Amino acid sequence: MKILISILCLGLLTPVYAAESYQDLSREYNQVYREFLRNKIEKFPKKATIAIFLKDGTSVKGTFEGFSKYDDGIWIMPLGKHGLFADKVYDISEIQDVSIIILRSI
């Protein structure tokens, strides 16, 4: 009877432990991926043409204005926009990927 109760308890606790373990792994993966993006973005030269792919499935193309380490914001001037307040900032947690667009070969 004690063995049956211990097996039952173990069966009930295993899914809870697995869910917590999955959340921990997911959190760690997101931290590692954000660090990868930070390192990638910091290497971009200013005024480079880039494409930002967001987690919601949209993308933005524009000129790279800079990266703020303080708040993990990537500043971009969207293509076709001009003016003092036309630039946009995206938080690194919103970004799926970032890449440089080569407009012409060198």
Residues 27-75 have pLDDT tens digits of: 888 899 999 999 999 999 999 999 999 999 999 999 999 998 888 899 9
Average model confidence (pLDDT) across the chain: 82
Residue 52 to residues 4, 55, 75, 96, 98, Cα–Cα distance (Å): 55, 10, 11, 8, 5
Domain-wise residue ranges, the chain: 2-100
Cα 105 from Cα 97, distance rounded (Å): 23
- Single out the residue of 52, 39, 65 nearest to residue 95, CA to CA: 52
CB 90 within 8 A of CB 53: no
pLDDT band for position 25 (cuts 50, 70, 90): confident
SS3 64: strand
- For the 2-100 domain, the top CATH level (class) is mainly beta
What pLDDT does 29 receive? 87
Q: Is the pTM of this model over 0.95?
A: no
